[in-house]
Structure 1
Amino acid sequence: MAKIVVIGGTGHIGSRVVSKLLEHGHDAVAASRKTGVDTMTGDGLAQALAGADVVVDTTQAPSYAPDVVLDFFTTSTRNQLAAEKDAGVKHHVALTVVGTNRPQDISYFHGKAAQEKLIRESGVPYTLVHATQSFEFAPAIVFTSTHDDIISVADALIQPIAVEDMATAVGRAAAAEAVNGSIEVAGPETFLLEDFVRRNLAASGDQRPVVSNSESTYFGARIEERTLLPLEGAQTSTTTLIEWLATNTTP
């Protein structure tokens, strides 16, 4: 049985990946700073990856500051790949985001693109799982888009996915052979970003006004209408926004 080590495996997404792999009979182990593994310094990596066949990276940068994002994803990824080569790991799976491979000016996406480049050039067999933004990401969009109690979002489309479904896709990639390329996963529905935000707010009784226009930005960056959408042929999950809101929102 293959040993699968999930880096960031005690976090919001990684813990779900570990649980799903274990439920399906895989030998999955969580590795994170909570378990003594620090990918930024490399501490604990060699011990965590001993005997590992597959490594899954679900780590997240500690902030959205451009320099922090770039430093985190490049340093963390270099350390992981170096340790994987020493351990003889056969498959590196990285959770990334839809849109990194198209023109845009989102600093977080630039950090993820740098991460992906390191993985592609590492020589370690790999699978990149590009996911759309999650339903759970709505509060962050609201926070960064609020000005004087008005929420102003970019005039763009979004095809959000439930984190549970995202974790399922990552787990499936980890249990399969490396594709040495990318797969894209997305939710089943496409919304105007304005509508997505408004529905999330309404579900919790928040009546703040939501507007969109061509001047509004997405995390400080101008985006096109389809920047956040997957390409044709992406895998789509089944959980709808209404279904997710019914079990994840407290009025």
Structure 2
Amino acid sequence: MRIALFATCLADTLFPEAAKATVLLLERLGHEVVFPSQQTCCGQMHINTGYQAAALPLVKRYASVFDPYDVIVAPSGSCVGSIRHQHAMVAASYGDAGLASRAADVASRTYELSELLIDVLKVEDVGAYYPHRVTYHPTCHSLRMTRVGDKPLRLLRQVRGLDLVELPAAEQCCGFGGTFAIKNAETSTAMLADKMTNIVSTGADVCTAGDASCLMHIGGGLSRLRTGVRTVHLAEILAATEFIS
């Protein structure tokens, strides 16, 4: 299958290993991955902070760049959630019915990584090997917008050498929420403290998730407290093998 990669801004600027791991994993499974170089931000940050007019050109760009592809994947439940639930809405709110229709069509072909693997490629065992004690944080957007459900957990359970431990109060937000963490810093910090307490209680070496944004927030907190717990994107775990760890 020919699959287009939407890398996302955060992966492009701060967490390139998540995007590279997505490519490595899909190619190992026998698929061709292409990277449309004209891609930019999905516009989620603009939309969520009330700048929909500024987001409109980004919605147009995404629809134009990815329209030629039958399947698009992003290592981010957050960005996929925005593409699916906001792009057509933004276009329609500015009276561009044609763009709204095209955006909805392209969005229907855009998948978060665990969705693509299980729902489209019909695979749960991706041949990964990751000998670590791991706990999984289901990010808010992947849980409540893209509704990936237990798909990441099903994939993690098939990883050889991995000891998967349940995260207490897993469905509670980590407190990041994009600009929420800046505008409501004290509340965000309190939410992060609860999340970190629960992560540390598992005895895990690694906390994983499908969104680099949440992992950035959680990882920063865990690092400052010197807990010894690392944050690793789901794609990196699934891409790991006995030869690449």
TM-score by length of 1: 0.37
More helix by share: 2
TM-score, structure 2 as length reference: 0.37
Higher strand proportion: 1
